[in-house]
Amino acid sequence: MKILRIACLLLITIFLAGCWDRIEIEEFAFVSVIGLDEGEHGKVRVTFLIINPQIGTSTNIQVDEPPNDIITFLSDDLVSCRELASTSVARRLTFSHTKAIIVSEAFAKSDRFFPMLEATQRDRDFRRDINLIVCKEKASEFIRNNHPPFDIRASKYYEFITSRWEDVGFVPLSNLHRLSLRTLDDLGLFLVTYATTKPDDPKTNFDSEGDFIAGQIDKLDENPLQMMGSAVFKKGKMIGKMTGDETRLSQILRPNVITNNILATFPDPLNEEEKVSAKIARRKNKIKIKITDDYPIIDVTVPLVLSITSIPSETDYVTNIKNQELLKNSIQKRMESITMELVKKTQKEFGGEPFLWSEIARRKFWLFEDFNKYNWPEKYKNAKVTVKYDIRIEDFGKHYKPPKL
Amino acid sequence: MLKKYDGKMGFREFFAVVFFAIGMKLTDTTPILMVELGLNASWMIPIVSGLVIFLSFLFLLSLLKLYKTKSLIDIIYHLTGKFFGSLMILLLFFMVLEYLVVSTRDYADILSTLFYLRTPLKYLLLMLIITAFYISHKGLDIIGSLCWFTYPLIQLVFVVLILLLWKELDFNYLFPLGGPGMKTILKEGVVHSSIVSEIILLSVFFPKVRSYKEYRNANFAGLGISVIFISIFMISFICAYGYFALSTLNYPYHQITRLVSLGRFAKNMESFFLGFWSIGVSVRFGVYFYAGATLGASLIKIKNPKTLLPYLAVIVYILARLPENFTQYVFSVRKVGVTILWTYLLSLSPFLWTVAKLKVEYKS
């Protein structure tokens, strides 16, 4: 009896192997980045970056192999080219560890982009949290041009760089999950990280540290990659671009705090040439929306807490209370004016809002149908928006007074 | 102090049985059925259903209290006679069978679509049915203990999932709060009451529970916890996906386990949840198999329901393999089952109660 029981137990372990789906980890080829370009004859050009799992791990096996393999195919869709890959890759491709999908601007602007992504929702291999990046050039070039000096493992690099939005805010949080969410909701704009590896005419006369779109930054670097600003999507299609500052602002105006502790510079009110820089922490916005039949009236109050980090003009804003008020007022004015500019731009140019104000607006309705009928995206175009900033300066850094020269 | 083992279930065992029979439904396609008309307010539907079935269940409780040792089957025979009694029990049996067939197929489909791509569906189905059959073959007292033993695990996993999901949830999606309107919500709640109607069915096990009081409390607690959890998960599905994206999904629970991650290093956590889920599912089908066998045995007058189990397992396997794809089942049979049989399930216990009243069985 006892032997029979042990035999049964041993037999059960067979099922632990995963039945028909059993596979050795060595047989997998992990695609860590996918590129999408428009192809000839209505096809799509797909680029896979397949990582070499032997490179960049803590095990000390020295192998003389490249860290990754980049292949580009012309294919009907995203999923079927997995089979095409077997023409040269000796392993089974899997997307379960894919970190980013790179889409060329030209393809993102076409009608075929969103339907192409449907496969990523249906195919079980794709995860909904894959990051989305729009690039200026062809995606196949973007992936090949990118040479991160420290992260040989591309998956790590893309994972780290796409998570930078949290601290900096120049790029938004954009993944497949959110894209499908916002596109299906169709209540406003969706922002996607914008990047390029082909910098052109660097912008030298800029307003502030975020007044760029990827490609305009004057930077000297082995790696040409620049990730800055966002591509604006409406109904699953790219319709425009926003600078880093505008992307930041749109995130500041949202009901939920997701980006915090960002650094920003403001013009010095007493010395026109100079800037004052500060670390900004945001408290919860007060968003009041009044629904009228023709247009919504939106009142937003944004409480910002500043911590000054540099005053290069050496003006005494610390002990001189009058100057402090002056600085506060000037920051407030500036923030309000650039915000209103952005709001006007979204109403006129994009015809939609990236601020997720629809989430507050939907609270004003009782029935789902009523809210749909109200047609928020259309009504937003004529919305009366006022944005107020409530600026508080919390501290002035390590210096008590500006040094005297 | 150790209680003397009497082969009967106590409060906690039966509570766990009820939880597995009802609560586990949040992991299959049931939420999608409710979302269709409930829109973004569909999380209220299970609560309404729970209340409705609770009222109906009160009638049954009154009967069970009256007859002390009789199960639902005995009560039906006793009150309506042999012929009508058999008909009613046959209907109940078909309901269990229908549910077993559709859900085994549904669950096998979840496995084959999301986890075991290359393994044939028939094999997954076979494995599911064999495990459930094995569990149910051990007898009701073992099922009860097993339920109680695994209940904390499953409950913990549900709670952990919600906590991990927290940052993905956007509660603004619950608005407009009224959804399709209160009238539709109430109507849908009544129509979908069969989702929580297991407490009526499970009263075939009444004599196997130690006392009436324990039975009553176990049902109340089990129903309450299950309804709360189905509702909480509906809220998290709506808040994580929004109504429009949610209505396009097939298996919201399993898709949501793919969204969560524990920090930067523990990603792709769905297999962790899959493990616990499959334990819960096998236990759950064990309960169903035993309930089906008990109903069937009373129809053909066999003493021991276990003799019927192998036949039931084979029938379920064959029927579950019939349709081409599971959508045909879920959106035809299951929908009909859910939306038509509720009248029968809801009216069953008030009907029996009225008969008992008319026959003057209640002596004051």
Chain CA centroid to CA B236, Å: 20
Confidence (pLDDT) at B14: 92
A117 vs A129: CA distance, rounded Å: 13
Distance (Å) of CA B159 to CA A128, B163, B229: 22, 6, 9
Average pLDDT of chain A to the nearest whole number = 85
Mean pLDDT over A384-400 rounds to 85
Pair of tokens at residue B137: 């073959």
Distance (Å) of CA A176 to CA A157, A184, A247, B87, B198: 19, 12, 19, 53, 38
Asked, as a colleague might, if the bond just before B252 is cis with ω within 30 of 0, I would say no
CB B360 within 8 A of CB B66: no
**A181 contacts in B (CB within 8 Å)?**
241-242, 244-245
Q: Which residues of chain B fall below pLDDT 70?
A: 1-5, 326, 328-331, 334-335, 337-339, 363-364
B41 vs A370: CA distance, rounded Å: 14
Cβ distance of B172 and A19 shorter than 8 Å: no
Per DSSP, the three-state class of A299 is strand
Among B273, B277, B189, CA closest to B231? B189
pLDDT tens-digit map of A338-371? 999 999 999 999 988 999 898 888 888 888 888 8
Chain CA centroid to CA B243, Å: 24
Per DSSP, the three-state class of A237 is strand
End-to-end CA distance of chain B: 39
Q: What single-letter amino acid sits at A93?
A: L
Which of B184, B250, B267, B274 is the mutation pick for testing A, counting most A CBs within 10 A? B267
| Chain A nearest C-alpha distance from B146 (Å) | 19
- CA torsion, points A216, A219, A224, A228, in degrees to nearest 10? -50
Cβ distance of A121 and B179 shorter than 8 Å: no
Residue A405 pLDDT > 70? no
A288 vs B139: CA distance, rounded Å: 61
Among B195, B194, B204, CA closest to B89? B204
CA angle A233, A264, A344 (to 5 degrees): 40
B248 has a chain A CB within 8 A of its CB: yes
Confidence (pLDDT) at B221: 94
Residue A311 pLDDT > 60? yes
Among B42, B18, B40, B345, CA closest to B206? B18
Complete DSSP assignment for B327-338: HHIIIIIIHHHH
Cβ distance of A371 and B177 shorter than 8 Å: no
Q: Which of B118, B176, B241 sits opposite A362 (nearest CB)?
A: B176
Q: Which of A185, A366, A369 sits opposite B244 (nearest CB)?
A: A185
Higher-pLDDT residue of A58 and B209 is B209
A180 has a chain B CB within 8 A of its CB: yes
Most confident of A231-235, A291-295, B191-195: A231-235
Tally the C-alpha atoms within 13 A of residue A73's C-alpha that lie toward its C-beta. Answer: 18
A365 vs A382: CA distance, rounded Å: 19
Query: Would you place residue A59 in the very low, low, confident or very high pLDDT band (cuts 50, 70, 90)?
Result: low
pLDDT tens-digit map of B180-220? 889 999 998 888 888 888 888 888 899 888 889 999 999 99
Pair of tokens at residue B64: 């069970």
B4 has a chain A CB within 8 A of its CB: no
Confidence (pLDDT) at A58: 63
Beta bridge partners of A237: A234
Residues 19-78 of B with CB under 8 A from A: 39-41
Mean pLDDT over A41-53 rounds to 87
A258 vs A248: CA distance, rounded Å: 11
Residues in CB range of A380: below 8 A, 6 or more apart: A188, A296, A347, A351, A352, A353, A357, A358
Confidence (pLDDT) at A54: 73
CB A155 within 8 A of CB A50: no
Mean pLDDT over A243-267 rounds to 85
Confidence (pLDDT) at B1: 43
Cβ distance of A368 and B179 shorter than 8 Å: yes
Higher-pLDDT residue of A76 and B265 is A76
Pair of tokens at residue B213: 């009081």
Residue A75 pLDDT > 50? yes
**A367 contacts in B (CB within 8 Å)?**
176, 178-181
Pair of tokens at residue B99: 């549910």
| Chain A nearest C-alpha distance from B304 (Å) | 26
pLDDT tens-digit map of A140-176? 999 998 888 887 788 888 888 888 787 888 888 888 8
Q: Which of B180, B242, B255 sits opposite A185 (nearest CB)?
A: B242
Residue A245 pLDDT > 60? yes
| Chain A nearest C-alpha distance from B39 (Å) | 8
Q: Which of B119, B176, B245 sits opposite A371 (nearest CB)?
A: B176
Packed helices B309-321 and B270-299: angle between N→C axes, nearest 10 degrees = 120
Counting residues of chain A whose pLDDT is more than 90, the rounded percentage is 21
Q: Is A106 exposed, middle or buried (0-12, 13-18, 19+ CB in 10 A)?
A: middle
B41 vs B237: CA distance, rounded Å: 11
The string over A211-228, giving b where at least 16 C-beta atoms fall within 10 Å of a residue's C-beta and e elsewhere, is: bbbbbbbeeeeeeebbbb
**B248 contacts in A (CB within 8 Å)?**
121, 184
Mean pLDDT over A38-52 rounds to 88
Higher-pLDDT residue of A205 and B5 is A205
B259 vs B269: CA distance, rounded Å: 8
Q: Which of B170, B177, B268 sits opposite A96 (nearest CB)?
A: B268
B119 has a chain A CB within 8 A of its CB: yes
Closest residue in B to A360 (Cα) is B172
Note the helical H segments in chain B: 11-18, 30-38, 45-67, 72-110, 121-137, 140-165, 182-191, 198-201, 212-246, 252-257, 270-299, 309-321, 326-328, 335-358
Which of A124, A180, A359 is the mutation pick for testing B, counting most B CBs within 10 A? A124
Which of B37, B258, B278, B282 is the mutation pick for testing A, counting most A CBs within 10 A? B258
